[in-house]
């Protein structure tokens, strides 16, 4: 059932209250529904996109500038899945190990996650060398609002409150008892036994920080709420060309042939041996034939004889040529953090977010090493040739094309000083509050986060169900 007015819910309580109706919140609610567990989802945005609602996502970015937080996420039913890129891939086993959660509890939910995202459970990974693999993404077209709106409005067990902002949690004796909700200058308090924050990589921290400011005695002061915020820098590392047939020859039957650009990723051997962070790459220029020609022309000036060979095959499908796009991992740093602004508040009286962000030298260094080693591999196996942007070659800087993945701030761990939730996503030191979404990622790897978010939601549902029933 969908509620548009908070007055409809005055005096009501629910076994579970979920804040946020993105992939995390909806997946969790649907899983609980299967066990006939009632829940309320509180969505700050409306059923459809609105500029007015987006304005409530205004935030200050202090340090290196990144994509405006009003545009990199969506405040509406379905959350940011309303405009996501759709690229899906499970995070690697060796990256999950860093999270301190059991890989099996995560990987066994792959098939179910693929059903939700309507993609094939096929994520082949073929080793080209000790350092690199060709990897496979699946592309999901699911928009959670479109897919589940009718179901949510007719569900007996799921109540959805839209256009209402959950501002803060209150309680006592290490337990939250209620949540304050605001809508058009009206406030109500809703009670529940379990509170699950699924409001995204910024808002989860913001709600906790504001709850802490409202009542300093409830949340442990040691917890680094808002800290260790990370993203995936998305950059153009250079340009290059490669012969698809040569990669096919190396990989034989393991060659991954699918529509879209060819993706490569670093293996753990490269990450461990060179002490760098992981990254994924793809080469793309199909949409820009001018760039295609430019690169061949440039290469003719650099190596004329080899260049002539390339120029001859420019119209063939075998030659792939273009920018080298990279999705990079970032090191979690305490100084990259979310705090509350001291002066500006939103329309419901909650301080806006201040996001402190600085690009890291480790990421720049990793980008260079990844490209240099790739360049060596291309020469050694005669796959093609690549060129690094001179600012990366000289370790000066990199330019973020866009920052859309918001991770960290309420990370998983055992140590109260470096983490906020335990491996079951329960807020440390509190009995009945769980945090779900990319905000719990302690590290980001290179894979897009949504697949892992849905996996985490299914995993949390399994953990919660026996406690609720």
Partner 1 sequence: MKKRRRNFIKILIFKTIFLFSLTKSYSDNKFYAKKILDKKTFKKFVWYLDKNDK
According to DSSP, the residues that pair with 215 across neighbouring strands are none
Name every residue whose Cβ is closer than 8 Å to that of residue 211 and which is 6 or more positions away in sequence: 168, 169, 170, 218, 219
SS3 396: coil
Name every residue whose Cβ is closer than 8 Å to that of residue 403 and which is 6 or more positions away in sequence: 66, 67, 72, 231, 232, 233, 234
Whichever of 47 and 373 has its CB closer to partner 1, that residue is 373
Work out how close the CB of 241 gets to partner 1 at its nearest, in angstroms, rounded to a whole number: 11
What is the crossing angle of helices 304-312 and 289-302, to 10°? Answer: 150
Whichever of 28 and 239 has its CB closer to partner 1, that residue is 239
Whichever of 51 and 305 has its CB closer to partner 1, that residue is 305
Sign of CA dihedral 32, 36, 41, 46: positive
CA 153 to chain centre: 27
Whichever of 348 and 369 has its CB closer to partner 1, that residue is 369
Name every residue whose Cβ is closer than 8 Å to that of residue 247 and which is 6 or more positions away in sequence: 128, 134, 255, 262, 383
- The site for partner 1 (CB under 8 A) is made up of 238-239, 298-299, 301-306, 372, 375-376, 378-380, 385-391, 393
Whichever of 375 and 402 has its CB closer to partner 1, that residue is 375
Report which of 348, 79, 116, 29 is spatially closest to residue 202, judged by C-alpha positions. 79
Whichever of 383 and 440 has its CB closer to partner 1, that residue is 383
404 φ, ψ to 5°? -120, -15
Work out how close the CB of 32 gets to partner 1 at its nearest, in angstroms, rounded to a whole number: 53
CA–CA dist 167, 172 (Å, integer): 17
Sign of CA dihedral 16, 18, 24, 30: positive
Work out how close the CB of 292 gets to partner 1 at its nearest, in angstroms, rounded to a whole number: 15
Whichever of 89 and 389 has its CB closer to partner 1, that residue is 389
Work out how close the CB of 310 gets to partner 1 at its nearest, in angstroms, rounded to a whole number: 11
Name every residue whose Cβ is closer than 8 Å to that of residue 149 and which is 6 or more positions away in sequence: 47, 77, 78
Work out how close the CB of 381 gets to partner 1 at its nearest, in angstroms, rounded to a whole number: 10
Whichever of 393 and 429 has its CB closer to partner 1, that residue is 393
Name every residue whose Cβ is closer than 8 Å to that of residue 209 and which is 6 or more positions away in sequence: 225, 226, 338, 339, 340
Work out how close the CB of 130 gets to partner 1 at its nearest, in angstroms, rounded to a whole number: 13
According to DSSP, the residues that pair with 338 across neighbouring strands are 355
Work out how close the CB of 294 gets to partner 1 at its nearest, in angstroms, rounded to a whole number: 9
Work out how close the CB of 16 gets to partner 1 at its nearest, in angstroms, rounded to a whole number: 54
Buried b (16+ CB within 10 A) or exposed e, 394-419: eeeebebeebbbbbbbbbbbeeeebb
Work out how close the CB of 323 gets to partner 1 at its nearest, in angstroms, rounded to a whole number: 11
Whichever of 238 and 442 has its CB closer to partner 1, that residue is 238
Whichever of 177 and 393 has its CB closer to partner 1, that residue is 393
Work out how close the CB of 426 gets to partner 1 at its nearest, in angstroms, rounded to a whole number: 47
Report which of 197, 193, 189 is spatially closest to residue 175, judged by C-alpha positions. 193
């Amino acid at each position: 059932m969908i509620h548009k007015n908070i007055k409809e819910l005055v005096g009501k309580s629910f076994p579970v209250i979920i804040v946020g109706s993105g992939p995390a919140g909806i997946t969790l609610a649907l899983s609980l529904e299967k066990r006939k567990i009632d829940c309320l989802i509180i969505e700050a945005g409306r059923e459809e996109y609105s500029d007015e609602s987006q304005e409530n996502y205004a935030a200050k970015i202090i340090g290196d500038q990144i994509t405006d937080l009003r545009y990199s996420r969506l405040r509406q039913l379905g959350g940011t899945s309303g405009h996501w890129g759709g690229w899906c891939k499970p995070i690697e086993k060796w990256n999950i190990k860093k999270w301190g959660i059991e890989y099996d509890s995560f990987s066994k939910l792959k098939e179910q996650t693929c059903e939700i995202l309507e993609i094939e459970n096929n994520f082949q990974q073929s080793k080209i060398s000790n350092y690199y693999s060709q990897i496979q993404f699946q592309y999901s077209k699911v928009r959670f609002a479109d897919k589940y709106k009718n179901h949510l409005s007719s569900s007996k067990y799921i109540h959805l409150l839209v256009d209402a902002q959950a501002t803060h949690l209150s309680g006592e004796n290490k337990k939250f008892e209620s949540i304050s909700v605001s809508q058009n200058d009206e406030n109500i308090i809703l009670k529940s036994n379990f509170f699950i924050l699924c409001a995204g990589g910024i808002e989860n921290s913001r709600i906790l920080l504001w709850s802490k400011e409202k009542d300093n005695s409830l949340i442990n002061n040691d917890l680094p709420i808002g800290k260790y915020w990370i993203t995936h820098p998305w950059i153009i590392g250079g340009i290059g060309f490669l012969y698809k047939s040569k990669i096919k020859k190396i990989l034989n039957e393991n060659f991954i042939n699918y529509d879209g650009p060819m993706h490569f990723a670093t293996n753990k051997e490269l990450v461990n041996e060179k002490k760098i962070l992981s990254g994924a790459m793809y080469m793309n220029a199909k949409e820009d034939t001018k760039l295609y020609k430019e690169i061949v022309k440039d290469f003719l000036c650099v190596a004329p004889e080899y260049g002539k060979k390339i120029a001859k095959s420019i119209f063939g499908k075998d030659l792939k040529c273009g920018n080298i796009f990279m999705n990079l991992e970032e090191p979690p740093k305490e100084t990259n953090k979310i705090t509350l602004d001291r002066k500006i508040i939103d329309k419901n009286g909650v301080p806006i977010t201040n996001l402190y962000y600085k690009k890291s030298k480790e990421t720049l260094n990793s980008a260079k090493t990844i490209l240099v080693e790739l360049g060596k591999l291309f020469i050694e196996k005669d796959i093609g040739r690549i060129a690094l942007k001179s600012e990366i070659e000289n370790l000066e800087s990199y330019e973020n094309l866009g920052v859309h993945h918001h991770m960290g701030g309420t990370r998983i761990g055992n140590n109260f000083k470096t983490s906020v939730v335990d491996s079951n996503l329960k807020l440390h030191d509190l009995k009945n509050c769980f945090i779900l979404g990319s905000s719990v990622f302690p590290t980001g790897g290179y894979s897009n986060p949504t697949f892992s978010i849905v996996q985490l939601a299914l995993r949390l549902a399994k953990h919660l169900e026996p406690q609720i029933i």
